[in-house]
Structure formats: structure tokens, C-alpha cells
Amino acid sequence: MVCILEINIDDSKEIYKSGFGGNYIGILPPSGESLRERVKNKSKASTEAVNKILVEAQEEIKEIENSSFFTNRLINDNLEDSYEVFKNRIISIYPFVKYDYDQVERLARDAVNEKQDE
């Protein structure tokens, strides 16, 4: 089983420090301007609040870019394209996830049958 968590940088660091094995994927905006537009479009906050969010986001971006535990980084420039890259990265790390449930069930059943035939 693969568990995918969406967590902030600080929680990522705590989990990493605990020794819990995992693969950390940092998701980055394509540019600072793109980030600014996204935050402004999603937030109904004041300009001051938006600027605070952007400062925090820039710090997180630097953490992701410079951190040794984020072994994978993904630029989220287009949702569909980014999803494909994300999916392919997950499959490259955990090849068994490329099978759908029925395929996994069939493979498990075949493995049990082969073991019984031995």
C-alpha cells in the first residue's frame, strides 16, 4: 500500500527526522509571478495578507529546492501535465501501483495458485 499525504514543510521535516521511511515530493509553482497570481485569485484576503502568504511560500520553495530529503520535485504549471508527471513518478518509485485493483487481485490469486501447485 502507498499512502500519499499532503503536508506542510514543517510536518515533512518532523516525519523525516523521526526516521519514518518515505519519498518526499516537493511541488513547486512554475514561477514567482505565477504563484502571486494563484494566491491573489484564490484568496479574498487583503494585499497585506496575500503578501504574507507569498513570503511564507517563498521560504517553503527555498526549503524544497535546497532540502536533501525532497528527493523529487515537481513543477505544477499545468494540472493535467503535472498530474501525469506525478503519476509517473509514483509509478517509478512504486511500480506495483500501475495495476488497477482487479489486476492486483488477479496477480495475487495467480501467485497463490502457483504456490499451491508447487
CA–CA gap between residue 19 and residue 21 (Å, rounded): 6
Residues of the domain holding 37? 9-106
Statement: residue 104 has pLDDT above 90? no
Tell me what pLDDT residue 20 has: 82
Cell of 85: 508527471
Identify whether 85 is part of a domain.
yes
Identify whether 115 is part of a domain.
no
Tell me what pLDDT residue 5 has: 86
Provide the mean pLDDT of the chain: 87
Identify whether 1 is part of a domain.
no
CA–CA gap between residue 61 and residue 36 (Å, rounded): 13
SS (H, E, C) 27-73: EECCCHHHHHHHHHHHCCCCHHHHHHHHHHHHHHHHHHHHCCCCCEE
pLDDT digits (tens, 9 = 90+) for 24-65: 999 999 999 999 888 888 878 788 888 899 999 999 999 999
In the chain, the number of structural domains is 1
Q: What is the rounded radius of gyration, in angstroms, for the C-alpha atoms of the chain?
A: 19
Top-confidence range, 51-60, 89-98, 106-115? 51-60
Q: Quick check: 85 and 26 in contact, CB under 8 A?
A: no
CATH number (domain holding residue 57): 3.40.50.300
Q: Which residue from 72, 70, 47, 46 is spatially nearest to 60, judged by alpha carbons?
A: 70
Identify whether 51 is part of a domain.
yes
Q: Which residue from 36, 66, 67 is spatially nearest to 52, judged by alpha carbons?
A: 36
Share of the chain above pLDDT 70, in %: 98
Identify whether 114 is part of a domain.
no
